[in-house]
Every structure is written in structure tokens, then in C-alpha cells.
Amino acid sequence: MTARRSIKISKVRTQIVAVIASPPELHRALRMTSAPDLFELRLDHLIGCLDEVERKTSILSAPTIITARHPDEGGANRLSHQRRRALLGRFLPRARYVDVELRSTRTLRSVLDTAHRTNIRCIISFHDFDDTPSVRVLKTKARAAKSRGAHIFKVVTRTDTPVQLTRLLDFAADDDVDLAISVMGMGKLGALSRIVLAQLGSVLVYTSLRQAKIEGQLSIRQLRSALSALRII
């Protein structure tokens, strides 16, 4: 007989992050009367309107996470390391958090160093759009993220099957991960993963302001409703 899994419900409050990746999303964010906890500025998507973003960031109704994503982890416009470094450096003084992929921590070390000197918190992230690695692999990446200065380790992986989702759940529930985590799935079970993982202590959960860009992402209204029903927010 297979032992039943014991899932511990976390008392950590999950924060909602609304992603801004286009001018219409920026304009909608500026009009919101009930803001999320944080906005994420996807600078790699906002190349064409950076001056407007820079002018209006200060009047957003919530603090910001900035990121300029690596092309191999979903980044737009195939930006070079130099261009990403310049973008992050430009917007860093306006940010609460900066998000840098684990694979980019060496090439963007100067950004992370500046963030630490100026009390801007660091999210180090890992994205796998094809699968969910084993718990062992994810724990190894979490340790690497912590060693490189992460305050939060963010994981986004493919969750089309129960096996893939179970790997994420097991990782989130593992007591050996000595670091705050933000864990989400994408794909057929992506929406379910975001709600269940919030119960397990995922400190940030990301949502769309307009039409979802990836399968499994919930709208901010759907996410708030689900988390409120579970008394997570």
C-alpha cells in the first residue's frame, strides 16, 4: 500500500504580482483602484516605451519587480547580456526587487552587487518550459541561488501531467530548502499549481493584467477569488 502524502499548509502570506509587459498593461496598472502587492516590469518586452515606463513607474500604486529576461528563458527581443545589464541598471533605483535568472548571475553580477548595496532584494529565477526537473535538481538550483545572493528563489516549470505537478509540490514542501521560494507551473495544470503552491508557502504568485500570455496563468480577479476563498490573502 502506498503511504498517503502529508502536505503541510504554510502560514506565509502569498503576495500577488501583476505583470506589465506592454503599454496597454501599463495604462491599466495606472488606473487600478485595487492594486496587487507588486507589479513586475518586463523590461525586455517594454523596449519600445522605456521613457514612458520610466516617467510613470513612480506613480504606480504598488512597488515593482524589474526583470529583463534571458532569451532562453522566455525573454523578448533577444537582448544581449550588455543590453539587459543596461536596462536593469537604469531601472534599479526605482525597484523593490530585481529578478535575474540563475544562468545569468555571473554575467549580471554587477547588477546583483548594486542591488545588495542599495537594499534592493534579489529574486534569482529558473524557468523550464518543457518539463519539471526532479526535486533533487531543483534543490541543487535553490542552493546555488542562495549562494549567489537570492532572497527569493523563483521556479516556473511545465506542469501538463500529475507527475510534473507532484515534483513541484514535493520541492515546495521540502524542509531542506532554506530559502523563500516562489513556485508556479505552466501548462494544463498551471492554474491549479499556482493555487496549491500558494498554500505550501510560495511567497509570490504571478498574474496577468489582460489576456494571459502563458497557459495556466490566472487573471488577477480569478487569483484573488481563489486565494481569498482559501484564506491565503
Helix/strand/coil percentages in the chain, nearest 5: 40, 20, 40
When pLDDT is cut at 50, 70 and 90, the band that residue 233 belongs to is low
Instruction: Reply yes or no on whether the pLDDT at 171 is more than 60.
Output: yes
Model confidence, pTM = 0.92
Report the candidate in 73, 158, 149, 139 with the shortest Cα–Cα distance to residue 115: 149
Report the candidate in 151, 152, 87 with the shortest Cα–Cα distance to residue 116: 151
Q: What is the pLDDT of residue 230?
A: 78
Provide mean pLDDT across the span 115-125. 98
Higher pLDDT, 232 or 110: 110
Task: Report the share of the chain in percent with pLDDT over 90.
Answer: 81
Q: What is the pLDDT of residue 3?
A: 39
The SS3 of residue 151 is coil
Q: Rounded CA gap, 205 and 122, in Å?
A: 16
Q: Where do runs of H (alpha helix) occur along 100-230?
A: 109-117, 135-147, 162-173, 190-199, 220-229
When pLDDT is cut at 50, 70 and 90, the band that residue 180 belongs to is very high
Instruction: Reply yes or no on whether the pLDDT at 9 is more than 90.
Output: no
Provide mean pLDDT across the span 137-163. 97
State pLDDT tens for residues 87-103: 999 999 999 999 999 99
Architecture category of domain 15-229 in CATH: Alpha-Beta Barrel (3.20)
Provide mean pLDDT across the span 143-168. 97
Mean pLDDT of the chain: 92
Three cell numbers, residue 177? 530548502
Instruction: Reply yes or no on whether the pLDDT at 8 is more than 90.
Output: no
Provide mean pLDDT across the span 29-43. 96
Instruction: Reply yes or no on whether the pLDDT at 226 is more than 80.
Output: yes
Provide mean pLDDT across the span 157-178. 95
Of 7-21, 152-166, 186-200, the least confident = 7-21
Provide mean pLDDT across the span 184-207. 95
User: For the range 73-78, what are the long-range contacts, defined as Cβ-Cβ under 8 Å and sequence gap of 24 or more?
Assistant: 73/101, 73/103, 73/125, 73/126, 73/127, 74/127, 74/129, 75/44, 76/21, 76/42, 76/44, 76/45, 76/47, 77/44, 77/45, 77/47
State pLDDT tens for residues 153-163: 999 999 999 99
When pLDDT is cut at 50, 70 and 90, the band that residue 137 belongs to is very high
Instruction: Reply yes or no on whether the pLDDT at 5 is more than 60.
Output: no
